[in-house]
Amino acid sequence: MMEQQTNVQAMTAHELTQHLFAQEELFILDVRNTSDYENWRIEGHRVVSVNIPYFDLLDGVEGVLEKIPVKQKVLVVCAKEGSSIFVAEMLAEAGFTDVSYLQGGMKAWSEHLEPVKVGDLRDGGAIYQFVRIGKGCLSYMIVSGGEAAVVDSLRMTDVYEAFAAKHQWTIKHTIDTHLHADHISGGKKLADRVDASYWLPEKDAEEVTYSYRKLEEGQEIQVGTTKIAILPIYSPGHTIGSTSLIVDDVYFLTGDILFVASIGRPDLAGKAEDWVGDLRDTLYNRYKELPEHLVVLPAHFGSYTELGPMGVVSARLGDLYRNNPGLTIADESEFRHIVTHHLPPQPNAYQEIRQVNMGKLKPSEEEQQEMEVGPNRCAIHDK
C-alpha cells in the first residue's frame, strides 16, 4: 500500500515576515506550552492564533478540528520545529490542504533579521532598517560612497556582512547608541571582524573590558565621500550615556529613548529614580528643540501595529509629540510616577546581557540564544 502524501510545507522566517508585512490573512496554531505562548507569540494585522499545547495533541487532532479554519492558510508553530511538523502532518492527513510549519520554530523567528529600505540620503546614499520582527529589535545600516555604518547591531553579525558584501559596501563604523540590556550587541564583534571603528558612549562604558571610540555630542562620523554626517546628541534617560544620532538632517536614530508608541524605561541598570529626571529632560526639553520634520527611527518596537508600509518602523518627531502617550504627560510628578511604578516585566536575563555587553561574560552561542528568548520590553508601555 502506498504511503499517503501530505501537503505540508516549511515556511521560513523570511516568508512569514513577508506575510506579516503584506498584512495577509494567516491562522497560527501554536503548540508550545501555554505559559510560553502567553509570554511571547507571533502577532500581525490579520493574524489569528490559537494555542493548543503539543501534549494535548499526541492522540490526534480530531478534538480540535473545529477550532481550525479549513479554507485558510494554517501555520503550525513550536519552539524548535519538530513538534510543529508532527502536528502539521496530522492536519494534512485530516484534510487540510494549505498547512505549513515554521522552519526552525520560534528559535528561528527570534533570530531573523529582515532588511528594509527606509529612504535615500541627499547625496546619493541610503539608510536601511534591519527588523528583528520576532523580538522587536531594530538596527540600521547607513551607506554612502561605498562605505557603511551599522547602528545598534545585533549579535547576528553575518547578516550585516552579507548585506554589505552583496552591494559591495565596506563597513567602516559600528555604533551602539547605549549599553544594551535586552539583547546582545554585535557592535564590537562586527567591528573586529571587518576592521571597523566601534563607537560607544563613554558614560555607558565605565565597566567595559574592551577598547572603543568615544561617542560624544558634537562629533561627526563620516560615512563615504559624500559628506553624510552622523551627529550624536547626548540624550540620557534609558541609560546614563544614551546618545541619539541625526543623519543627513532628516533621520533621527533615538536608540531606546523614544519609540513610535512609547518611551524608554530607565530601570534596567537599577537606577530608575536616579535617571527618570534625565529621561524627562531629554524627551521634554532636548528633543523638543529639534525640528519636527525629523524622522524618528528607534532601536525597538513593542507591537506589530507600529510596523508601517513594507515593515518600516518610523514616525515624524512632530507627530510623536501629538500622539505618543509618553510625550503628553504635562505634570512632572505624574511622569515620574508612571515611569517608575507602572513598568512592564523586565526583559529576560537583562542583567546577564548587560554583563555580556560589557565583555565580562562569554556565553556560548546556545546560551546567548536562551538569554534573548522573549520580547524586548524596553518601553514603559510594553506588555
Q: What is the Cα–Cα distance from 129 to 163, expressed in whole angstroms?
A: 12
Residues 6 or more apart in contact with residue 232 via CB below 8 angstroms: 215, 216, 217, 218, 219, 221, 243, 244, 245
Residue 352 is which amino acid? E
Choosing from 29, 78, 200, 263, the catalytic residue is 78
Judging by beta carbons within 10 Å of its beta carbon (0-12, 13-18, 19+), is residue 23 exposed, middle or buried? middle
Residues 6 or more apart in contact with residue 330 via CB below 8 angstroms: none
What separation in angstroms does the CA of 378 have from each of 257, 277, 333? 9, 18, 22
Residues 6 or more apart in contact with residue 162 via CB below 8 angstroms: none
Judging by beta carbons within 10 Å of its beta carbon (0-12, 13-18, 19+), is residue 98 exposed, middle or buried? middle
Query: Cα-flanking dihedrals φ and ψ of residue 27, to 5°?
Result: -105, 125
Q: What is the Cα–Cα distance from 31 to 75, expressed in whole angstroms?
A: 11
Q: What is the Cα–Cα distance from 236 to 201, expressed in whole angstroms?
A: 10
Nine-digit cell at 220? Answer: 561627526
- Is residue 214 classed as helix, strand or coil in its secondary structure? strand
Residues paired with 223 in a beta bridge: 228
Q: How far is CA 320 from the centre of its chain?
A: 19
How many helices (H) and strands (E) the chain has is answered by: 11, 18
Q: Please state whether beta strands 228-234 and 243-247 pair in parallel, antiparallel, or not at all (unpaired).
A: antiparallel
Look up residue 286 and give its DSSP letter. Answer: I
Structure-derived torsion over alpha carbons of residues 110, 111, 112, 115, reported in degrees to the nearest 10? 110
Say if residues 200 and 187 touch (Cβ distance below 8 Å).
Answer: yes
Q: Is 378 among the catalytic positions?
A: no
- Catalytic residues, by residue number, are 78
